[in-house]
Structure 1
Amino acid sequence: MFKGEKIRLTAMRAEDLPIYRTWNSEAAFGRNYNSSPIREVSEKQATEWFQESSDKDYRFAIRPVDNENFMGVCAIEDIEWPHRIGWLSIALGEDYQGSGCGTEAMRLLMHYAWNELNLHRLQLTVFGYNAPAMAMYEKLGFQKEGVFREFLQRDGKRHDMYLYGKLASESSDF
C-alpha cells in the first residue's frame, strides 16, 4: 500500500526534522508549499508539528525504495469524516522535483485515501504560478473546480490560487 516503483511512504522521523526545517526557510520550497511568509521554522515548532496526532491528519515522509533518505512530505489532512472529504498536500525537496516521485507519492496517497480511509472526495489548492504542480494534478485526474482570485501577493504581484478536486468514483484505483 505504501510502496511504489521509485518511492515509499513511511512515518516521519525525528531525524527528518532538520531537513524539513531547512526546506521551510528556502523561498523556492516555501512559496509553493504554503501562503505563509518564508521564515525559519524553530526546532520547537517543527517538533510540535511532528508530534501532533489526530484522526483527521495522516502525514507521511517520502523516501526512495532502496534507502532512508528524506525526500519530502505528503499528507491527507483536515479530514471531514461525516462527509468523507480530505485535503491533500505534498512537498518535495528541490533535488527530487521533476523526477516523477511526486506523482508516484500522490498515487500512493490517493490509493490509501480511497481504499483504506474510505474517503469520497480529495481536494487541494495550488498557486497559479506553480505550473508543474498543476500539470501533475491534472495528469492524476484532478479537476480545476474554482479560483481564489488574487489570493496572495509575492514579490509585488498578485496571484490566484486554484481549488482542485477528485472523487473516488473518478479514480481507476477504487
Structure 2
Amino acid sequence: MIDASALSEKPVLIGDRIRLTPLAPRHAAAFHATFLDAETRRLTGTHHDWTLAELQAWCTGAAERAERLDLAIEDRETGAFLGDLALSQIDRDNALGSFRIALAAEATGRGLGSEATRLLLDYAFERVGLHRVQLEVFAFNARARRAYEKCGFEVEGRMREALHWDGEWHDVLVMAALAPRP
C-alpha cells in the first residue's frame, strides 16, 4: 500500500558520506553549474539550456510538490552540493515510480551515486511502499549502468535510437529494481 504522505514529507536521509536533503533555493546556483558541464549534459541527455532563474523557481517549488520527491545530494561533512535525484511519476495503483539522478562532475567515480541511489531506494520501498522503481539510462553510459546494477536494478528492455545527441542516435536502456521480498 502506497503512503502518499511519504512523498510530501521531504525527508533528510543520511548515508556514510552523503546526506540527501530536500531540494531548496540554496541549491539552485550549484544545480545550475552542474548542468553547464558538457559531460553531465550528455550523460543526462539534457538538451534544454536551464537558466539560473528557471532552476531557482524549480528548487523553490520542490517542497510543495506532493506527488514527487526531489532531493539534493550533499557531502555529509562539508554540505557541498554533489548532485540531485528524484522519485517521480508515482503510479499508486501499481506501486511503481520512476527514478533519476545527476551527479556534479567532481562527484563521479567515487561511489557516491550508488550510496545516494541505495538511500532513496530504501525510502521508496520501506516508507513510500513502492514495489517497483524504474529508470532509463543511455546505452553509452556504462558507468551508470554498473552503479545501478550494484543497487539491484536489472535491464528489462531497450528503446532503440531514442536519444539524438551530437548528430547520432543512441539506445536507451530501461532498468528496474523491485522491493525485497519478505
Give TM-score scaled by structure 2 length: 0.86
Q: How does 1:72-111 map to 2 (within 5 A)?
A: 72-111=83-122
Residue 56 of structure 1 and its aligned partner are, at CA, apart by: 1.9
Contact 1:144 1:165 (C-alpha < 8 Å) held by counterparts: yes
The residue number in structure 2 matching 1:159 is: 170
1:134 paired with 2:160, answer no
Tell me the distance in 2 between the aligned counterparts of 1:66 and 1:152. Answer: 37
For each residue in 1:31-58, what CA deviation from the matched residue of structure 2 results, as whole angstroms up to 9, or x when unmatched? 212x34152x123311232214322210
Q: Percent identity?
A: 32
Residue in structure 2 matching 1:45, options 45, 54, 63: 54
Contact 2:34 2:103 (C-alpha < 8 Å) held by counterparts: no
The residue number in structure 2 matching 1:117 is: 128
For each residue in 1:5-47, what CA deviation from the matched residue of structure 2 results, as whole angstroms up to 9, or x when unmatched? 11111112312101111222322111212x34152x1233112
Letter in 1 for 2:155: K
Tell me the distance in 1 between the aligned counterparts of 2:145 and 2:113. Answer: 12
Contact 1:8 1:64 (C-alpha < 8 Å) held by counterparts: yes
Tell me the distance in 1 between the aligned counterparts of 2:30 and 2:19. Answer: 18
Give TM-score scaled by structure 1 length: 0.90
Contact 1:25 1:38 (C-alpha < 8 Å) held by counterparts: no
Unmatched 5+ stretches in structure 1: none
- Paired residues, number: 169
Structural RMSD (CA)? 1.6
Unmatched 5+ stretches in structure 2: 1-11
Tell me the distance in 1 between the aligned counterparts of 2:105 and 2:36. Answer: 13
The residue number in structure 2 matching 1:65 is: 76
The SS at the match of 1:17 is helix
1:144 paired with 2:164, answer no
For each residue in 1:90-123, what CA deviation from the matched residue of structure 2 results, as whole angstroms up to 9, or x when unmatched? 1110001011111000000001001110111000
For each residue in 1:33-84, what CA deviation from the matched residue of structure 2 results, as whole angstroms up to 9, or x when unmatched? 2x34152x12331123221432221011111221211111011111112221
Tell me the distance in 1 between the aligned counterparts of 2:51 and 2:135. Answer: 26
Flag as ranges the 4+ runs of structure 1 deviating above 6 A.
none
Contact 2:37 2:105 (C-alpha < 8 Å) held by counterparts: no
The SS at the match of 1:60 is strand
The SS at the match of 1:169 is coil
